[in-house]
Structure 1
């Protein structure tokens, strides 16, 4: 079972996984650095514990560690208990959620492997905002998407802010990188996917009229502001839009994605009668 250890010294070397989280060039979750996964808050930590990511350690105030006792019981990892003040000195800011966990990265599927086991995918180009990326993963989980493929210019989904905004769903929704761009889209086409580029341009087909509810569909989504590049749009089989009224011509990429995921039939065909996730997003 987890080894609960009380920590009083913020300089304790055993807390290295959690140190200086606000310092960009020393962050332990940078892909070019130690490449750790950092989960924040009881709900997100629970999802990390249930994920394939190998847990290394936890750090939290006593009541948060106690709230996780049942989940920690079968694990052989250290759970460090400290005061809120000691935690703030270690991580570099006051942590409202009261608990952190660190993990090593899991082996990711290849883009080909993910496509082979999927019918509905989102393919992202240039989504560099960590909060948008986290929201996209949360929407994908909520609406039953099979996975996400990351094209050029996308930020790291396992960056702490993305993990937090996704409510930990980035740890359970499969993703892979699509290194060849936009040529890698041909692999999806060869596997029977219709590739649909989402754009606000008036000449695009209204999403509901594009006939994407049948067969495999891969939805291309671009960055906030510029959207998809011309080469990505030209590589698509169909260009689609979400009809809007008034003077609004576009939506936040995560909001637009949620609408599109639902319109693809993912949300509407999803089994809403299933039992509630025991790590539901209620505030804790």
Structure 2
């Protein structure tokens, strides 16, 4: 099981994986970043422990570490215990949730592999906001979407804030990166997918009539504000809109995604 290690000195190098998260956040594209996966809070840590991501260590106040005793029973990793003050000095801010875990990244899934084993997919373009991205993954998990394809302009779904907002579900919904955009959408068509672009354009088909619950379907979702690019919409077989009352022209992308995912499962 995870072995308890007491930490009394904030400069202890054994907790360097958890250090200065407010500044570097361990993203590979930021100074000091290492690309580690970071989970916050008991529920999200439990989901990390149940995921394919190899856990390196836990760090928390004693009460939270003890709450995770059953979930960590099969792990051979350190569980660092400190008081809230020492933990805040290490992390760089006071952590209300009281516990963190870090893991290495799992092997990257190739788009063809994900497409080949899926029937319902979300395809994202320009989703740069980490909270929107995390919320989309949470909605995808809740509504039975098989995976997420990340197109141009998307942020890292394993960024700490995205993991937190997704409540750890980004760790269970498989995702892959489309490196040539929108050319790689051809992979979907070659595998029998119907591609639907979600857009508020008046000439698009109503979601009620789009029959997204039939066959293999991939739905394109774009960023708030500009939405999908013209190139992405033109690459789809059908443009689809969510009917709304007069005076409201769009929804938060995570909300729009949830409504569309619900239509895709035919519920």
Same fold (TM over 0.5): yes
**Aligned pair count?**
265
Q: Do residues 21 (structure 1) and 21 (structure 2) align?
A: yes
What TM-score, normalized by structure 2, do the two folds share? 0.97
Report the counterpart of residue 264 of structure 1 in structure 2: 264
Question: What's the secondary structure of 2:47's corresponding residue?
Answer: helix
Q: Per-residue CA shift, 1:172-212, capped at 9, x if unaligned?
A: 00000011111111110110100000001111000121122
Unaligned runs of 5+ in 2: none
Is the contact made by 2:144 and 2:265 (CA closer than 8 Å) also made in structure 1?
Answer: no
Question: What's the secondary structure of 1:208's corresponding residue?
Answer: helix
Runs of 4+ in 1 over 4 A off after TM superposition: none
Report the counterpart of residue 80 of structure 2 in structure 1: 80
Report the counterpart of residue 248 of structure 2 in structure 1: 248
Question: What's the secondary structure of 2:217's corresponding residue?
Answer: strand
Report the counterpart of residue 281 of structure 1 in structure 2: none
Question: What's the secondary structure of 1:70's corresponding residue?
Answer: coil
CA RMSD of aligned residues (A): 0.9
Is the contact made by 2:124 and 2:222 (CA closer than 8 Å) also made in structure 1?
Answer: yes
Report the counterpart of residue 93 of structure 2 in structure 1: 93
Counterparts of 1:164-243 in structure 2 under 5 Å? 164-243=164-243
Report the counterpart of residue 153 of structure 2 in structure 1: 153
Report the counterpart of residue 273 of structure 1 in structure 2: none
C-alpha spacing 1:58/1:29, structure 2 compared with 1 (3 Å): farther
Q: Do residues 34 (structure 1) and 34 (structure 2) align?
A: yes
Report the counterpart of residue 59 of structure 1 in structure 2: 59
Deviation at 1:54, TM superposition (A): 0.1
Deviation at 1:27, TM superposition (A): 2.7
Deviation at 1:30, TM superposition (A): 3.3
Question: What's the secondary structure of 1:69's corresponding residue?
Answer: coil
**Partners of 1:37 and 1:194 in 2: CA distance:** 33
**Partners of 2:217 and 2:152 in 1: CA distance:** 20
**Partners of 1:265 and 1:222 in 2: CA distance:** 21
Is the contact made by 2:25 and 2:160 (CA closer than 8 Å) also made in structure 1?
Answer: no
